[in-house]
Amino acid sequence: MSSPKPTVLILCTGNSCRSHLAEGILRAAAGDSLIVASAGSKPAGYVHPLAIRVMQEIGIDISAHRSKHMNDFLTGTVETVITVCGNADQACPIFPGQVNRHHWPFDDPAHATGTEEQQLTVFRRVRDEIRRAFECYADGRRDAQ
């Protein structure tokens, strides 16, 4: 009998941008090898429309994602927690079954100002930074199997 797939939980404060970008990218990169989820310490209650848009540009649909609180995951087994902002790293509890914890901070594109095109430039930059980090992480996990 095979063991259940490990769960990777990606945390940020609002769970509206960075954690959803990372969740979508890691889910696509890891395929069926991981259960990937995201949550926030103070969820915004929505997924930022520009996050959805820049993910569609790379062929990943996160339009069905929803903003969740990290406490929703305290009753399950989470193997790895990855925080993508400093506030979530400080607020992060220890989850049942947690073996690994990583902190990879990224700028919050939700704070981008200017025209929509200027904001999209920031969203794309952060998406691409997250993509590099999380695709490498997925590759490393595959190589370790």
* Residues 12-63: tens digit of each pLDDT: 989 999 999 999 999 999 999 999 999 998 999 999 999 999 999 999 999 9
User: Going from the N-terminus, what domains does the chain have, and what CATH number goes with each?
Assistant: 7-139 (3.40.50.2300)
Residue whose token pair is 């889910």: 27
Instruction: Give the pair of three-digit tokens for residue 39.
Output: 């949550």
Residue 21 and residue 55 in contact, taking contact as beta carbons nearer than 8 Å: yes
pLDDT confidence of residue 117: 97
pLDDT of residue 90 exceeding 80: no
pLDDT confidence of residue 59: 98
Q: Mind telling me the catalytic residues?
A: 12, 85, 92
Instruction: Give the pair of three-digit tokens for residue 89.
Output: 């790293």
Q: How far apart are CA 108 and CA 124, in angstroms?
A: 12
Q: From the DSSP assignment, how many helices (H) and strands (E) are in the chain?
A: 4, 4
Distance of CA 125 to the CA centre of its chain: 15
Residue 120 and residue 49 in contact, taking contact as beta carbons nearer than 8 Å: no
pLDDT confidence of residue 143: 81
- Tell me which amino acid residue 117 is: E
pLDDT confidence of residue 89: 67
Using CA atoms, how far residue 85 sits from 11, 22, 34, 141, in Å, is 8, 12, 22, 22
Backbone region of residue 103 per phi and psi (left: phi > 0; alpha: psi in -120 to 50; beta: other values): beta
Rounded to two decimals, the pTM is: 0.92
